[in-house]
Structure 1
Amino acid sequence: MGHEFEVRRQVELAADPEEVWQAIATGPGVDSWFMGRSQIEPRQGGSTRLTVGGAVEEATITSWEPPGRFAYRTGRGEDGTFMAFEWLVEGRDRGSTVLRLVHEGFLEGDWESEYEAMQSGWDMYLHTLAAYLRHFPGLRGTPVSALKVGAAGPERAWAALTGALGLPATAAVGEPVSVAPEGLAPIEGVLDYADPFSCLGVRTGDALYRFLHSGERRGDAVFLAHHVYSGGAGEQELGRAWQAWLERLFPAS
């Protein structure tokens, strides 16, 4: 049976409203902190297009009021499913901004698992948005992703990831990270996000690295959602290198 849902989030950002608007309402801006690749047609009635791992989600822009309100909605599937998003941008003193998100819609199938994943996912991605605007303002990030389905259960995956990153299993935000992944440039930074058994986040001087676990009900997948803010290797090259790293970390049983 299907189920209606709503996720509400609010975050204060160290950026002015125009900077926040550029980050949430332009393709290059969204690419700098969110998953996949985005295209946004800047007008009411225009379209948005999100491509993740070959899957494409399209929506119609229902509100375009820069830099204060941006909303868009997908069409309804045959089973009644749809997604709708509303972003509200409010400037505050000292150049900061409060950003409010309302994500609602209708889910089918294992909707509870999907809803839980949405909540934790938005917590992580909004934290990533805040880190991007604070530490890499004005830069355009290259999204780098990799996926291993059936990698391991949450506890085993967490142990493998923290171990590979040189962190204790009880890793806490602020701990230093120093690791040289095989086939990749060394990573020197700090742990900037930790949701045990679900997500690890590392910030370096030129990148935000995100290591996520889907949960048992969603295939025990480990997903990497990194953003690199320096030149050098391209998106495809980095994606292949991180995919190889995942395959070595979680070999087929």
Structure 2
Amino acid sequence: MAQPTATLRVVAGDAVLLLERRFAADPERVWRAVSDPAELARWFPAAIDGDLRVGGHLRFTFSEDPADAGDGGEGQVTEFEPPRVFGFLWNRDALRFEVAPDGTEAGGTRFTLTHVAGGGALGRVAAAGTAHGWDTCLAALEDLLEGREPEAAPEAASDRLAAVERYVAEFGLDEGTAVTTPDGYVVSFTRDLLWTPLDDAWAALTGGGEVEAATAPPVGAVNDDVGAGPVTEADPPRVLEYTWTHEGAAAGTVRWELIHDPELGNRVELTQTVPEHLGSVLPTALAAWHTHLERYFAAVNGDVRGPWPRERAEELRGRYAARLG
């Protein structure tokens, strides 16, 4: 049976992912699989150790080395109602597993996983990778319930990229904004880089070469639709800023920032300042960076794409123009 994908909504500023699965196994069997630490270790992303009662302390471990116990952080049980509900905190996130009969004569189970991502707006930025991660975990849970061995081979990078890109588009995580400022506008995008090391993300942006002030910016940081002037700041592997030009004259700055977050992963924040008298270029700028960041995310994940996709950029320019009015 085809499984539904994750859904995303925002509640009180936090991203909430909801995933539902139907399993042929009965509810008692599913409850054991989602509450017994030994069974959780076979599908959940971290081993869980602790006191399974409301208020009980939990410890999460990724490494198999006993010396690294707790390297995944800590949490607390918030709900524990066998054989129906298991809720807990994991660092700044809240997870809830709900087990219920699926209402069929076969006696299967409806399983619902709710993940409230801490971090406010930044938790939403990481939602696509998180959703795909849960899809992978729940596939392993289904294997466990069906008595199958989980896939031994790691997921192909191309499959992972395609799955995350689908969620990025579905959740609207690729959309940019144009905010009015006293001097004009700021075009802004924030994109998750999953857990790509900053050095690798910087290399994808710069081609691995040296970047210095007053020189031309690297090809990976510019595109066909935003004129590029000299670099004004370079701080590898975190900051690259350069002047952008309009009709040959300096008009503002483009700034790339690569940011590490130990809990949410790494991300890129891109901004372009636009003076008030050039407000007409906003749809083009938004479309250009939307397209550019699609290609950059692919490159960071090993898929270096061909020439600038003019049709895609034009499609997005029309969409942003309609939104801006």
TM-score, structure 2 as length reference: 0.40
Q: Does 1:118 align with 2:130?
A: yes
User: Residues 38 and 50 of structure 1 are in contact (CA less than 8 Å); yes or no, is this contact kept in structure 2?
Assistant: yes
Match of 1:21 in 2: 31
Identity percentage over the alignment? Answer: 23
Distance change (3 Å), C-alpha of 1:109 and 1:86: closer
Q: Does 1:83 align with 2:93?
A: yes
Structure 2 Cα separation of the partners of residues 219 and 50 of structure 1: 18
User: Residues 94 and 118 of structure 2 are in contact (CA less than 8 Å); yes or no, is this contact kept in structure 1?
Assistant: no
Structure 2 Cα separation of the partners of residues 45 and 130 of structure 1: 29
Structure 1 Cα separation of the partners of residues 153 and 50 of structure 2: 21
Distance change (3 Å), C-alpha of 1:96 and 1:46: same
TM-score, structure 1 as length reference: 0.51
- Within a 5 Å distance, the mapping from 1:222-237 to structure 2 comes to none
Q: Secondary structure at the match of 2:49?
A: strand
- Within a 5 Å distance, the mapping from 1:101-140 to structure 2 comes to 101-107=113-119, 110-136=122-148
- Within a 5 Å distance, the mapping from 1:25-174 to structure 2 comes to 25-53=35-63, 54=68, 55-74=71-90, 82-92=92-102, 93-107=105-119, 110-136=122-148, 157-158=157-158
User: Residues 14 and 95 of structure 1 are in contact (CA less than 8 Å); yes or no, is this contact kept in structure 2?
Assistant: yes
Q: Number of residues paired by the alignment?
A: 153
- Identify unmatched segments of 5+ residues in structure 1: 76-81, 147-153, 159-193, 200-214, 222-249
Higher helix share: 2
Structure 2 Cα separation of the partners of residues 105 and 195 of structure 1: 21
Match of 1:217 in 2: 193
Rg: which structure is higher?
A: 2
Task: For residue 105 of structure 1, report the CA deviation from its aligned partner.
Answer: 3.3
User: Residues 25 and 40 of structure 1 are in contact (CA less than 8 Å); yes or no, is this contact kept in structure 2?
Assistant: no
Name the amino acid aligned to 2:126. Answer: E
Structure 2 Cα separation of the partners of residues 4 and 108 of structure 1: 5
Name the amino acid aligned to 2:107. Answer: G
Distance change (3 Å), C-alpha of 1:129 and 1:198: same
User: Residues 46 and 61 of structure 1 are in contact (CA less than 8 Å); yes or no, is this contact kept in structure 2?
Assistant: yes
Task: For residue 97 of structure 1, report the CA deviation from its aligned partner.
Answer: 0.6
Q: Give the superposed CA RMSD.
A: 3.6
Greater relative CO (CA pairs within 8 A, separation 6+): 1
Structure 2 Cα separation of the partners of residues 29 and 216 of structure 1: 31
Name the amino acid aligned to 2:78. Answer: T
Structure 2 Cα separation of the partners of residues 30 and 124 of structure 1: 14
